Amino acid sequence: MYTQALDLPDAQHAAVARPAPSDSALQAHFDDKISQEQKIEPRDWMPEHYRKTLVRQISQHAHSEIVGMLPEGNWISRAPSLKRKAILIAKVQDEGGHGLYLYSAAETLGTSRDQMLDALHTGRAKYSSIFNYPTLTWADVGVIGWLVDGAAIMNQIPLCRCSYGPYARAMVRICKEESFHQRQGFESLMVMMQGTSEQQAMVQDAVNRWWWKCLAMFGPPDSDSPNSAQSQRWGIKRISNDDLRQSFVDATVPQAKVLGVSLPDPDLKWNEERQHHDYGAIDWDEFWATVNGNGPCNQERLATRVKAWEDGAWVREAALAHARKNAARSLKEAA
């Protein structure tokens, strides 16, 4: 799975709802629950802004899972062995499943699946910008598992403690499955690093292209992340973007050493005083350009997704027609 700390306002969610005065008792009860670390469940009262924030975040997260199937899906028919093909199919199927868990969680907030899909397909909703980059070689598939899924896990583990029950439960399930994704990627790269010099160069090239994009997955710096503070107060977000990014860098450096690749950052070094790695500046202009639709694959990804949805329309309609016919038949037989 995959989320970046995408806390980015969609056009339709710009307005911030303030609780009406008559809601103040309910608001107090809600605040109380949040401060006592109790979960909020679907039919509990919640502030409109909390509901909207969750719908936006969970649906963006779900869209990311579904769009995330595309860059890797391209490699299913090109996997180098039957074993790698089976693993990749299982992984891509997991991503589809993660999308479904998350859409279900978002639906408990009163938004229909069709509304969410419509927002994705018309370009109103965001998804993780990492999927707007191309997967050029087989090594990219391994690097997505190791680094992209690794970054996603770092982001998602704190979400298992999210204050909204259905989201937290979906995240527990997703995190359990995610560990396979990262490990299969790392192992596949290990095999390539024991291969020819061309294979090793292919891995290094993929790492060079994905590293900075993975750091950007954690979202804008804390100083430039206006929604984060509210999300943290509500127990939706637990750890800040910069802290998560730091944990990811610290965890990845020794893994890169084991793998035998370098990370493409001349400023990356251990800081004894901070007990963390220092790293260089992230190109936020590129990040925002991609988020805003101008990455290398934005149009292709959305077009592929919309085509799949439209091509599947007759299947969805036929299944429904079949179900209605069966229901009518059994009614008739009963009569």
Partner 1 sequence: MSIPPQTPEALKPLSEWPLWEVFVRSKQGLEHKHCGSLHASDADHALRLARDVYTRRQEGVSIWVVPSSAITASEPNDKAEFFDPSGDKIYRHPTFYAIPDDVGHM
Which residue, 12 or 262, has its beta carbon nearer to partner 1? 12
CB 49 within 8 Å of CB 16: yes
Q: Within 10 Å of residue 3's Cβ, how many Cβ atoms?
A: 29
Q: Within 10 Å of residue 61's Cβ, how many Cβ atoms?
A: 31
Residue 43 makes contact with partner 1 by CB under 8 A: yes
According to CB under 8 A, which residues from 124 to 183 bind partner 1? 169-170, 173, 177
**Please, what is the minimum distance in Å from the beta carbon of residue 32 to partner 1?**
13
Q: Which two tokens stand for residue 102?
A: 């998350």
The site map against partner 1 for 45-74 (x = CB under 8 A) is: x-----x-----------------------
Distance between CA 255 and CA 257 in Å, rounded? 5
Residue 304 makes contact with partner 1 by CB under 8 A: no
According to CB under 8 A, which residues from 89 to 128 bind partner 1? 90, 93-94, 97, 100-101, 104, 107-114
Distance between CA 186 and CA 146 in Å, rounded? 5
Judged by CB under 8 A, the stretch of 36-44, 78-86, 155-163, 268-276 that binds partner 1 is 36-44
Q: What is the CA 22 to chain-centroid distance, rounded?
A: 37
DSSP letter for 164, please.
B
> In which residue are the tokens 């993975």 written?
214
Residue 233 makes contact with partner 1 by CB under 8 A: no
Judged by CB under 8 A, the stretch of 37-45, 215-223, 275-283, 302-310 that binds partner 1 is 37-45
Residue 17 makes contact with partner 1 by CB under 8 A: no
Which residue, 119 or 147, has its beta carbon nearer to partner 1? 119
Which residue, 299 or 326, has its beta carbon nearer to partner 1? 326
Q: Which two tokens stand for residue 236?
A: 């939706």
Distance between CA 144 and CA 328 in Å, rounded? 48
Q: Which two tokens stand for residue 328?
A: 């009518």
| Ramachandran category for residue 275: left, alpha or beta (phi over 0 → left; psi -120 to 50 → alpha) | left
Q: Which two tokens stand for residue 86?
A: 């089976």
**Please, what is the minimum distance in Å from the beta carbon of residue 138 to partner 1?**
24
The site map against partner 1 for 253-292 (x = CB under 8 A) is: ----------------------------------------
Orientation angle between helical segments 165-193 and 197-216, nearest 10 degrees: 160
Residue 41 makes contact with partner 1 by CB under 8 A: yes
The residues of the shown chain that bind partner 1, judged by CB under 8 A, are: 26, 41-45, 51, 90, 93-94, 97, 100-101, 104, 107-114, 169-170, 173, 177, 313, 316-317, 319-320, 322-323, 326-327
